[in-house]
Structure 1
């Protein structure tokens, strides 16, 4: 399929390009549909309910898991003996007020354009929010990728563009790519205010407080970046089962089944 698309591009045949993209989209949807199979999701829920022999309390530590559990109504399928609580999975939500204040201070400097993702704009610090700074005249631009911040820097050579780096391990590669690209383009008016966080210390802080958890549902995209071994110390040091999962309904339910098995069998 990529070969067909490449050939269409090389031959400048837009109709063929559109057809190739449609076919690619259909193929992608096919694989997505498999992970949203309602019958399979219900079967996994039933299997999990049969395995549980006592009340269990799991935590999903990623905001995407939290969102999709609600989006697909999975909580309605959980047995009453299972409680799944939400962890600190949103990097914006766990950003300290002092860090927000630093973002605001940067935004209010002269000849500065602050580039940020939209979910950070209304988060309050101790002296207001970026939205309020923008209302006072600061130039705060909402972007969708760190690469967009590079475009701002190229278009405004007389301004310093400050990209606000908020996120966990999964956002770091794209920010690093933007920094590398800025070096290649010799953009001296681009910089990053890095407020990135990593997950393992957050686990440690949570679990040192004895939150009475039986298992953790860990994010697959973080494991893709840092490797599954990053979660090993959590399981070993706290004797707590951890299962790494994707974000589709079948992924989540299968992971909960596996967590249940680990707890019940004391593996």
Structure 2
């Protein structure tokens, strides 16, 4: 497990769980515009192959990372129905489970980000273990691999982001090798504490060194867009909605800074 600690551009320790609050009202596009303005062109853009499992999902939070590799230990034939049902437990009892400490790293507001390390089809995440992460406070779960039980995951409105839907289970296919370390996902580097954001437009990873600065610039981008859209609403005689409520944004940040 890495001992890396998030710091700002001056090398001072920061609390990414406080910084995440500056991102809550923002769209991914606002933050991408802000990163461009700071000279971070295309840094943090996650490949569009990795997508929210269902539309309407939105989250921002500090990354808790895990790195996986394909397993080189084949699963053995199981002899009873009981063993088949308990296959995960049998596998982990024999070979260990380096991911057992993941839930202990998750806090309210965390985004769990998993690099599957070129593993093939394997449902590392499914409808039960994603709920365990949510129970510990995860607001988002991201992987460059597969998710299974996707009907239930969607029904549960679990904030799951994945590259593909899958069918198979973990034993004999994939192993966790390290927690809370630097990983790569969809062309973006992710470190523990970097701010990960998702909405219908896709994902972005904001380096923690510039996160607060990016959020404040993004707030200005959002407000400018909302004001312009209000003018269009007026021209169309369209009733205002929450997407043009500039007062709500101003109140949010005023309360955050108070």
Task: Flag the structure with larger Rg.
Answer: 1
Give the structure-1-normalised TM-score: 0.25
Of Structure 1 and Structure 2, which has the larger fraction of its residues in helix? 1
Structure having greater relative contact order (Cα 8 Å, sep ≥ 6):
2
Of Structure 1 and Structure 2, which has the larger fraction of its residues in strand? 2
